[in-house]
Every structure is written in C-alpha cells, then in structure tokens.
Amino acid sequence: MEGVILAGGQSSRMGKPKELLPVEGMPLIERTRHLLIPVTDRCIIISNHPERLDMIPDEVPVYPDDIPGQGPLGGIVTAMRVATSDILFIVACDMPALTVDVVLRLYDRASMLQTEYDIIYPVWNGRAHPLCALYHRRIWPLAKTLLKDGHRRMFDLIDGGRAFAWDATPHFPTDPFCNINTVQDYNQFQKGERV
C-alpha cells in the first residue's frame, strides 16, 4: 500500500500554505506523513510547490500535478500514474484532527479492494470524506476519462466506481476528518473547536 498526500491546492482562502501550518509541533504535511508510515510501504506527495517542503525527507518523492488546476481528482490521477502499489491510501494535507486510530481502521478494510470495491471512503455524521480514503488503481482509467470530460467532482469518481462507504461515526465522538481552509478554521481548531 502506498500513501499519497495531496498538497496541490492554492490555499487561497488561507492566504498561506495550509500544509505548513504547525499542528502538534510539526508542519501539518509532515504530521500527516507520520500517520501513514505504520500502514504504507512508501509515501508520495502531490504538490506544485516542492520548494516549500524542505522538511520532507529526500526519500519521499514529490510530484507536481500532471495537469494543474484540476483539484483533488487531478492529484489522484497523477498519483495513480506514478504509484508503485495497486492500493493507495489518499489523504488531503489539511486534516489536523486525523489520528493513527482512523488510519488503522481504514487500513483494516483494505482487503475489500482486492475484488469487491474500487474505493473505500469514510462517512462521519452523514458527511462523506473521499479525501481520506483507499483507492485501487484499477479506477485510474475512469478518473482520467472524467478529467478529460471536465468532470472534476470527487463524487463523479465515487458514483462511477464500486465504492464502499464506511460509517466512522460510532467510533469517533468528534469529526476526525475536519479540514481547515481559513485562518479562522485553524484558530478554532487550535482552541479545540472542530469546524
């Protein structure tokens, strides 16, 4: 299994790179990478700004989007092209509440990708989180076709593949998948408030 961290966004609403925000004493992207280490054979990063990532070890490859400006689906298509594993654990770089427990629980469902499903994504309190999910590379042709046809929504990919929605709500009292898009989001998170 390969870990993929998506950090290709512009962080326009934040006004500064989200992946570099300190969480628990380290940049958010490095914290995310550490969460993936126990369950992945290697980790890669999709980023159009490798110059920002000097804290990332040299053995972690950083790839730019094949086609910039296509959102997370574009990053996933790039990751599927460069991946060395069939199963990818894909995580956006802006989830500061993610925990090892979440990662391990998703990892435990990876065998379902061998034959039954193409995607396993969590749902918390009715909200789906396709940017902290497991993907099989067999869905790469569909992802490429969607992008080519101008369909960039993650749910276009989920609806077009065999997807399993894992209800994570009973396991976590607060949303472990919350993401941060603005300075206000980040400040609320730092105060212990989930956004």
Quote the CA–CA distance of 49 and 63 in Å, as a whole number: 9
The structure tokens listed for 153 are 């929504």
Q: Tell me the residue type at 24.
A: E
156 is in an annotated binding site: no
Q: Any bridge partners for residue 134, and if so which? A: 89, 120
175 is in an annotated binding site: no
Closest Cα to residue 118, out of 166, 72, 75, 161? 161
In degrees and rounded to multiples of 5, residue 152 shows phi and psi of: -105, 0
159 is in an annotated binding site: no
Q: Any bridge partners for residue 23, and if so which? A: 26
16 is in an annotated binding site: no
118 is in an annotated binding site: no
185 is in an annotated binding site: no
Q: Tell me the residue type at 120.
A: I
Other beta carbons within 10 angstroms of residue 59's beta carbon come to 7
- Which residues does 185 contact at the CB level (< 8 Å), separation at least 6? 179, 195
Contact (Cβ atoms closer than 8 angstroms) between residue 46 and residue 8: yes
Other beta carbons within 10 angstroms of residue 99's beta carbon come to 12
- Residues within the annotated binding site for GTP? 6-8, 18, 65, 94
- Residues within the annotated binding site for Mg(2+)? 94
- Residues within the annotated binding site? 6-8, 18, 65, 94
